[in-house]
Structure formats: C-alpha cells, structure tokens
Chains A and B, each alone.
Chain A
Amino acid sequence: MSNPLHKVIHEAEQVILGKPHQIRLALTCLLARGHLLIEDLPGVGKTTLAHVLARTLGLQFQRIQFTSDMLPADILGVSVYQRDSTDFKFHPGPIFAQMILADEVNRATPKTQSALLEAMEEQQVTIEGTTHPLPVPFFVIATQNPSNQIGTFPLPESQLDRFLMRIQLGYPDAQAERGLLSGIDRREIVATLTPQMETAELLALQQQVRQIFVSPALLDYVQTILRHTRESAQYVHGLSPRAGLSLLGAARAWALLDGRKAVIPEDIQTVLPGVASHRLQSVLDAQKSDGDKLARELIEAVPIP
C-alpha cells in the first residue's frame, strides 16, 4: 500500500535535494485533500517541487504565473461567440487541471486572487450562470513571495485559511547545494520522471486517509491545543474549528504516509507548524513570518494528556 507513495517520495528526493520533510508535508497536504501554500524567496525550488509532484503522481499539470495585470477570466476561462454555430462556447482556463501551480499568487490583484481561491473552495467554476466542475483530484500549490517584497498583494487572513498548510522551503544545506550545483539541470530530470501511480490509486489513498483511526486520547490532545490558543493572551485569535479539522486531517494523512493505522501525538506535532503557522498571529509581534516559531512554542506549551 505504501509502496507507490514511497516511490513518489524517493523520486522527488532525487530532484529536490535535502528537503525530504517538505516533500512529505506537500504529499500529506495532497492526501488530506487540502491545498498547499509555499512561501519563500524566488529560486529555492518551489516550482520544481510542484512539477515533481505532478509528474510522479501522474496528474495533469498547469502552471499559472500570476501578474498584477491578470484578470479572473485569464484563470477561469471565457465564453466566446461562435460565428458558425451562433452560440457561445466556453473555453476553459488554465485552472481546469488536476494540479495547479499558482506561481507568485500575491503578485495578482485581490480580485484575481479571490477567483482562484473561490474555485479552490467550491471545486467548481461558475461562469455566466453555467457551473463547470473542476477535475478530480484538484490540488493547488500556490507560491507566495515574502510579503515584504515590492509589488505584492499579501493574501488576507480569510484567504490564508483556505490553504490546509503553509510550508517554507528555505535554502538547501551545503551538501545538497553542492549536489545541485554539480549535477545536471533539474528541469531535465523532471522531464524524465515517470508517474508512479494511477489517479484512481491516489483517490483510493485519499479515501484511506479518512479511515485512519483517531483515539479519544488524541482528540483530547487536539482540543487542548485549540483551547490553549483561544485562552492564551499570546495570540490575536485562537485557532478556528476549521483549523482543528485541518490539523486532524493532516495528521491522519501523515500517519498514512508513515504506514500507521492510527494517529499518534507526534503526527499532530509534525503537521502543526504547517497547519497553524499561517493561522496564528502573535499579539506581541505583528510580523507573520514567525508563525513557525509560534507553532513550536505552542507545541511546547501544551502537555500531551
């Protein structure tokens, strides 16, 4: 059961050097039917990660480069008048693919951003009264530049909440960097990757995630974490119930990835920084960038019941 997943991970590790944890988290996000936000500097391999996942999982891949002059129709598609048949024909936009890489999503205007995010939430696109379902599975990897860069529209908190996880890639360590510099071009390797599983297999895995067992003791732990964020004066807001569901879903997917049938506290702790860091904000420091530190502090503050 875990073989194809491990193969995917193995393949990805060949391309993206020194980031096994991030690869697993991205895969977790996909298995938990969530969308992923990658926030980091340009050039650290965000796009490559998305490419690799799409190739190895055998998903249709579409990349949308967001720019400030982009309109919703550029993503969703347009209805065009057909002269010969004298009616309108819908030309689907780039969003009609199983895996979308929304590159530099914070370069687009809020109007365009929300078109993407609505489609993510609804799993469908409605244009001129007609609803067009999106393909299944539908997985968005959005990348975002750190918001202090020039010419960006940072995603508002309510939009951030639609991403199951936010991860950061960071610079590779010295050894990985050496491999990167000395090896052949990554894009060439990506082109040689072959799918490791069928779409049906992936859907079955997503179904299995839902059946991973969660014991009452573990629910106690999740609730203690949620309560702590709500009662502590350290955070601007506590975690929402949706965040709680996301946390549990991600932990289930991680457990599956780890080859277990039940969630253990470590699963929660592993996915917590990814799930909670973009949802928590410290009262002391308005900078959102220290979300990971907040999440680690949160883990240390809550005893496992």
Chain B
Amino acid sequence: MKLEKSLVYGLLASILMVSAPHAEHLPPWVIAFGAAVLGWRAYLNFSGMALPPRWLLFLLSIASAAGIFLSYRTLFGREAGVTLLILLAALKLLELRAARDATVLIFLSCFIIITNFFYSQSIPTALMMFASLLVILSTWVHLHSGSLGLKPRLAISAKLLLQAIPLTLLLFVLFPRVQGPLWGMPQDAYSSSGLSDSMAPGTLSKLSLSQAVAFRVSFESFPPLREQMYWRGPVLWDFDGVTWSNRDGVIWSNRNAGTAQRNKPPQFDNLDQAVEYTVTLEPHNKKWLFALEMPTRLSVANFMTDDFQVQSRNAVTARIRYSAHSQLTFLANVDESPLQLQRALTLPKGLNPRALQLAADWRASLPGDDAIIRTALGRFSRDGYSYTLEPPLLGAHGIDDFLFETRQGFCEHYASSFVFLMRAAGIPARVVTGYQGGEPNALGGYSIVRQSDAHAWAEVWLKDRGWIRIDPTAAIAPGRIQGGLSAAMPDSAALPFLARNQSPWLLNIRFNLDMLNHQWNQWILGYDTERQFAFLTRLGMEDISWQKMAINLLTGVALTVLLIAILLLRKLYIRKIDTAQLLYLKFCKKLSRGGLMRAAHEGPQDFATRANMDMPQHAEAIRRITALYLAMRYENQPDESGLRALHRAVRAFKI
C-alpha cells in the first residue's frame, strides 16, 4: 500500500511540531541535520522520487548515534536520549513505506511530546503540545480514513481529544502520586538564580535587575504592612574587606565546641502578632526557605540555624509549597553566647582606617549604643548619601571610599558599611540578606516576591533586647521599603521592566497572567500527594489508601468510558429505535442465515426482488413482510395493528 502524499506531509508536520521546542537546547549540528532530513523527505514526497536505500539509512543512523555520543559522551540521560529519539524519528521518516511505519511515527511523535515536559512545564509549552497532539491525531485519522478532507479530520481529532478530557481529569485527580519527581532529574535541570551565601558590592543590585519570581505568598488573613515584610534569607557574619560571607562558620563552631559552650538555640520571648501564610517557592538550588521574620513554624522538613536561617535539608530543586507561622515582634537571643558576639565584632585587619576612626569617635563622644545607631543612620539620611542601582566602583578600602567619597550605593553598600561601623564601635552586628516587600496581586489574593525585591539589611545585638533589625536603606531611601524598588528609583534607572510602575491596564494584564501561572503551579504542577489527599478529603474520601484509590480510579475510568460510549452509541440507537426497522432487521438476519445478505445500501424492495429470485418458495412471505415494512416505515402514520402484523409475520418467517 502506497502512502498518500498529504499523509506524509502530516507526519512531517507532526515530527516538526514536537521537535521544534527542543531546538533551544539541541546542538547546532543536530538542528541542521534534522532540518536537512525533514527537508529531504519533503522534497522526495513533493517530487515523488524513491526513498533512499536501506544501507544508506543504516549508515546515517550509525553516524547520528556516533555524533550524539561525541557531543554528549553518552547515549543515555535526558539530553542525549532526547536527541537520539528526535534524530531517529527524523530518519524513520526516510523509510516511511507502509501504514505500519506511519503508525510507528505517530506513536514516536506522541512520545516526543512527553520529552518536552522534561524541559518546561509552563502553560505555553502545554498549549503547544496540545496543538501538536491535535496535528498528530488528525494525521492518525488521515491514515485510517483517507477519503476525508482536512476539516472533518481536524473535527474528528478535536472530538477525540474532547472525549479524552474526562479521562484525563480523572487520571490526574486520582492517579496515586509519588513523593518527589517520577524520574530523577539531574541538578543542572534547575535554574539557580537567587540569593547566594555571600554578598559583595554589586551582588544584590545585579540580582534586582531580574524580574524572575522568587516566590509567591498568600496570607491567611490580612497581610502585614509592607514595611514589616522582611523575608529572611542568608545571614552573613564574616567580612574580608569586600565580601560578606559565612566562610569562617566552621572555625567558629569548632572553637565553640572546644569551649564546650554550645550556641544558644533561637528563642522567642515575646510571641505577639502572629502571621499565617503559604509560600510557593520557585526552585533556586540552595537550601534556604524564605519566611517572614521571625518564623516559628514551617510545614516542611527544615531546621533553623543559630542565626535564624530556615533551611531545608536538601537544595530546593523543585517548586515547593509550605505554610508558615511568623511572629512580627520578637525578642531574639537576648542571652547570645559570648563567642557568637565575639564573631559579630570581628573586622578585617588594616582596612578602612577612616571608618574605624569615625566609629571610635562616636564611641568616645556618644552616651550609648542607641545614640551610636541613631547617629549612623542620621549620617546616611543627611550627609548627601544617595540610593542608586549603579554605584561607582570602590577601591581597596571599600567602606571608607563609600562612606567618605562616593556616597552612592545600593542596599548592600548601606548594610555592609553600617555593620562595619557598628562592629568598629563595639556593637555586635551582622548582615542579613533576603527579600523585602512583594507585589500584591489583588486578583489572586497573593503577593509576588521577585528577585528584584532582593534586599540586605543589618542586625545589631543590644543588651537585654537581643538581635534587632536595623535597615539602613530605610534611612536613605524610605520609599524602597514602603513602596518597592520603583518608588525609590528615578525613572531613568536601569530597572527591570516589571519592577517599574506601569499603567493600570498593563498592570492588570500582568496580574492576570501571573495569577494564571500561579493557579497552574498550584493546581497542575503542584498537585502532589498532600494536595491530592486534601482534595480527596474535600470530596469525602478521607484517609484513602492507595489501593482504594486505584480501585476508585479503575471504577471511575470504566464509568467514564461507559458514559462516553453510551453518548456515542445513542446516535446509532436512536436510528434503530424505529420498531418497524428493528423487526425488518430481524427479518434480514433470518434471511442472512439462509445465505442471503442485504447490502447496506440496498432498498427493501430491491432486496425483496432478489430474495424472491433466490428463494421462490418464500416469495409470498417476503413480499408480505416487505410491503408491511414499507407501509410502516415510509408511509404516513404507522399504526399498532400494522406493526403487530409485521411482528407476527417476521416471527412466523422461517428459512
């Protein structure tokens, strides 16, 4: 059987549609080779020339496998496997000879659809794959009913997809979920944009140019004020003159262990003003779980470090959702261990002499810690400091340069120099990084925290009051804290598009899109074991075991298929419900037992004529039944007596 030209084009389109999204991450030679093979096949189809010989296909297959091995050093795994699959599918097109090959290609296309979700599970990807599926299905329909036009083919495919939707929903809701991803994904599969465990001038200002979503938060009740929304991330202790980090953490904890004086656990003395909320955290390949200061409880496995960083045991490589409790007012570690305080006073030697001098002057002239803090903040707000995303470069004595010369900086400059001044003045202090604020999405009832909300602030330890948050940025640019980055920056600044204030309708579209994304993440991608149980409980299936779930699933599938079948067959049934026709069909069945089949297009009278010639002994009965049937079916108003007569005649009829 020779395949139709248009069918081959359909198969080409199917393969092209499912492989095209992969082009983003395929090696250039694979794209060129694949395009060449598809183009070649299209040309052969167009010109009606013969397909290449098998030995050439064999060589090409070996060559492409070798090429993939050279590119990836393996034939397995996500990258190499997908590439191999695509190339072999393209080569299969070249040996498309019979309907069997077409069927194989159709299944291959469906399988390549799945591979696209290894890379992206976003809404556009899903829509694109849905469209591909429609094309594949219509090609399949084409394969089996060649005489249909394109439109009826698409209509049948769309109908098939629609019929599949109830089953899809059922499988989606009821299929037992496994904890964690179904297939082991390599680490490199996840983006790792976000806060890191160190901070140098430029780290945060660079990050704040990214409009990527860090996490989304929905508050159980009324959200706290923006000024109170400090999402705590990495806490940085050790300063080398340029970079703040935690590189000496091990040394300090060893020293602690030597003195047998353990770090004090975090404690909250004044539990007031509780906030409950749910965070949907985008994967960032680090361990931090962000929560409002100070978190008291998280719904996922976590531990809290001595400096109140909430961390997960493993790097966050998949989108996770957790609910959290936080106390907005707190007393933190009033009895901090002396060693920790000592660490919070350590400064690099021989750097920033002017800042050291300034702090020493303050300590000598001012009455206490509070006054020093106030003076430092006052200096930022009064002495010509400005808040900018593009600060000038700083020299070896970075803090001195900033404090006395350039006086332009982003939040990391202010946090860094403030902590330096505090330590120099003898007040234990540390840098805290994280996110500040968030953009409320009024439509979805949640807030979006983006990378552009990344922030750094300071914590000082005061006697009897513990660790206290001081945000020096609030002193220089209060708008940053109250209104977000865009409120604090002049319009000309190199702000990311999304961080700017925009016209209301644009904002509205953005909110709508993000809400759609949020719902997609929450309900489609984030539909995990926990969600499933919660959802099923709401449906009245409490504490369901997976066996029961499987039974429910099978029952549901069976019922759905039955329902669809009934709906589909009802059309045929309605046509057959005509009593006269039913009786006549019974009559035809009796005749067919005698070896006389009525063709589907054969009219009753023609059939009767033929039957009479075949079985003259039954001529009278056949004539009578046919006449009764014609009268009942095609003449006005079939009457009961006629139907009964037909019934009797058919019953009495015997071959």
Contacts and interface: CB of A to CB of B under 8 A. Distances in A.
Interface of A: 213, 215, 217-218, 220, 231-234, 261-266, 269, 299-305
Given A217-B578, A220-B575, A233-B148, A263 B600 contact: no
Interface in B220-278: none
By CB atoms of chain B within 10 A, which of A232, A261, A304 has the most? Answer: A304
Interface string B1-39: 000000000000000000000000000000000000000
A266 B635 CA distance: 14
Contacts of A301: 601
B605 A231 contact: no
A266 B606 contact: yes
The 5 closest A-B pairs by CB, nearest first: A303-B600, A266-B603, A265-B603, A262-B635, A215-B634
A231 B581 CA distance: 26
A304 B601 contact: yes
B635 A261 contact: yes
Nearest to A302: B601
Contact of B605 (A218, A266, A300): A266
B426 interface: no
16 contacts: A213-B635, A215-B634, A220-B575, A231-B149, A231-B152, A261-B635, A262-B634, A262-B635, A262-B636, A264-B603, A266-B604, A269-B606, A299-B601, A302-B601, A304-B601, A304-B602
Contact of A231 (B148, B575, B633): B148
Interface string B622-645: 000000001001111000000000
A236 to B, nearest CB: 12
B503 interface: no
Contacts of B606: 266, 269
B603 A304 contact: yes
Contacts, number: 57
B147 interface: yes
Nearest to A266: B603
Contact of B634 (A217, A231, A233, A299): A217
Interface of B: 146-149, 152, 575, 578, 581, 599-606, 630, 633-636
Contacts of A304: 600-603
By CB atoms of chain A within 10 A, which of B147, B602, B603, B635 has the most? Answer: B603
Given A220-B575, A234-B147, A263 B634 contact: yes
Given A213-B634, A217-B581, A266-B604, 6 more contacts: A215-B636, A233-B146, A262-B630, A264-B605, A264-B634, A265-B604
Nearest to B581: A217
B314 to A, nearest CB: 58
By CB atoms of chain B within 10 A, which of A232, A266, A302 has the most? Answer: A266
B601 A218 contact: no
B342 to A, nearest CB: 87
B638 to A, nearest CB: 9
A263 B631 CA distance: 10
A262 to B, nearest CB: 4
Given A217-B581, A233-B149, A269 B603 contact: yes
Contacts of B601: 269, 299-304
A235 B553 CA distance: 46
A260 to B, nearest CB: 8
Contacts of B605: 264, 266
A264 B604 contact: yes
A63 to B, nearest CB: 38
B408 to A, nearest CB: 73
A305 B581 CA distance: 9
A218 B636 CA distance: 12
B147 A264 contact: no
A269 B601 CA distance: 9
A284 B643 CA distance: 46
Contacts of A213: 634-636
A304 B599 CA distance: 9
Nearest to B630: A264
A257 B147 CA distance: 37
B177 to A, nearest CB: 44
Contacts of A302: 601
Contacts of A231: 148-149, 152
By CB atoms of chain B within 10 A, which of A233, A261, A302, A303 has the most? Answer: A233
Contact of B635 (A215, A220, A234, A300): A215
By CB atoms of chain A within 10 A, which of B147, B601, B634 has the most? Answer: B634
B360 to A, nearest CB: 93
A304 B630 CA distance: 13
A300 B630 CA distance: 20
Contacts of B636: 213, 215, 261-262
B161 to A, nearest CB: 20
Given A264-B604, A303-B600, A304-B603, A233 B635 contact: no
Contacts of B146: 233
B633 A215 contact: yes
Nearest to B606: A266
